[in-house]
Amino acid sequence: MKKWTVWIALLTLMMLPVLSACSSSTGGSGGGGNDGIKVGVLFSLSGATAVTEKGMANATLMAIDEINASGGVNGKKLIPVQEDLASEPSVAATKAKKLLLEDKVAAIIGCYTSASRQAVLPIVEQNNGLLVYPTLYEGEEYSKNIIYTGATPNQQLQDFVPWLVKNVGKKFFFVGSDYVYPAETNKQVKALLQQQGGQVVGEEYVPIGQSEFSSVVNKIKAAQPDVVFSDLVGDSVSAFYKQYKNFGMDPKKVPIASPITAETDLISMTKDVSAGNISSYGYFQTLDTPENKKFVEAYHNKYGKDEPITDVHESAYFSTYLLKMALEKVQDPSDTTKLIDAFAGLEFDAPEGKIKVDEKNHHTWLHSRIAKVNDNGQFEVIVNSDKLIHPEPWAKVIFPDHAEPWNN
């Protein structure tokens, strides 16, 4: 027995390097292990913004399923590592750090609010990680570690505001939630309005989540605008639209125009409340194209036919495909610098049409569309941009001479 024990001990010692090597090469690390490539999926599955972010997570996971079903990335499957940031920016930072340092994901697709993105930004920069951010935002930001695939304000506004002035009227009343996105967005609206000879007749900001708007509607009535420009968010959207109608305003005569009201808001309104109001996005669920019909059908088959699909859901979907294309261009998925560089100039046939990542500024060329809510409570696209709109993180209309940090 003693002789056999010695042999077993020697055999075990001889096997240790082999066992150690096997352990470090499996598990689908971000470095491209034999089993796959890990991708962080970081959205809120709980909390105040989960109503929108669950759909973003769903769209991301659907794209990963499709990519894996068609062979993956260079023969490796994408392995989603999903985390819930619970609508809390501090949680977003903690989860991002875990995904990068413990799970060793190749990239994170995630974040919805600007607050969560700004919480994650220093984490990805300090650890040379990659965040693909699929949400429209207020601009005035550039990070070498973030690929921005949502719209900058100029992409939603430069066609929208002139169209409103020409087709609805010159007198604008602003109502928004009191945080950075409405304040910065409305700066651009005002600059465009001035160029078009328009006029601001009122402006009101309310705390996020406010649901009582009688005094705001009375001020609107007194100001007699042609357009009510809303960048309210969350539960305030449906509350305001309902009270606007119930307190005697007619959206078909004085519409609420918005760059942020989407399909997820319409489902909480009656048709007579929503009809006549106007929104601007690159994508609407009702887009009548073969690519979009295929996307909508796949999404509804997977998650239910009554699930609304919005611009940010579509953006999360095509962002995953852009990541796939970038991964295909690098030999080592853990080489974040090369992976980020691989996004430059990528083009993809998204549900909204062909889109392109800018060669320099880490933002994305997108479409611009204007849609009015019809009597069936659905967005009906009435204006399509005839070409992709260039992303301007610092909009030329208010920052004509701003230094471009991506050129440094």
Distance separating alpha carbons of residues 145 and 131, to the nearest angstrom: 6
Angle, CA of 403, 338 and 406, to the nearest 5°: 0
Say whether 239 sits in a helix, a strand or coil: helix
Phi/psi of residue 16, each to 5°?
-55, -45
Helix H or strand E encompassing 248: none
**Residue 309 neighbours by CB distance under 10 Å:** 25
Low-confidence ranges of the chain (pLDDT < 70): 1-34
The pLDDT score that the predictor gives to residue 407 is 84
The pLDDT score that the predictor gives to residue 8 is 38
Query: What is the crossing angle of helices 50-69 and 290-303, to 10°?
Result: 110
pLDDT in tens, 323-364: 999 999 999 999 999 999 999 999 999 999 999 999 999 999
Please answer whether residues 295 and 352 qualify as being in contact, where contact means their C-beta atoms are separated by less than 8 angstroms.
no
pLDDT in tens, 2-20: 444 444 344 333 333 333 3
Tell me the residue type at 205: Y
Q: Is the dihedral of CA 57, 58, 63, 64 positive or negative?
A: positive
Bridge partners, residue 365, by sequence: 356
> Which residues of 117-247 form beta strands (DSSP E)?
131-133, 146-148, 171-177, 199-206, 227-231
Taking the C-alpha atoms of 383, 384, 385 and 389 in order, what is their torsion angle to the nearest 10 degrees?
110
Please answer whether residues 361 and 345 qualify as being in contact, where contact means their C-beta atoms are separated by less than 8 angstroms.
no
Distance separating alpha carbons of residues 254 and 224, to the nearest angstrom: 9
The pLDDT score that the predictor gives to residue 49 is 83
Phi/psi of residue 135, each to 5°?
-125, 140
Please answer whether residues 369 and 280 qualify as being in contact, where contact means their C-beta atoms are separated by less than 8 angstroms.
yes
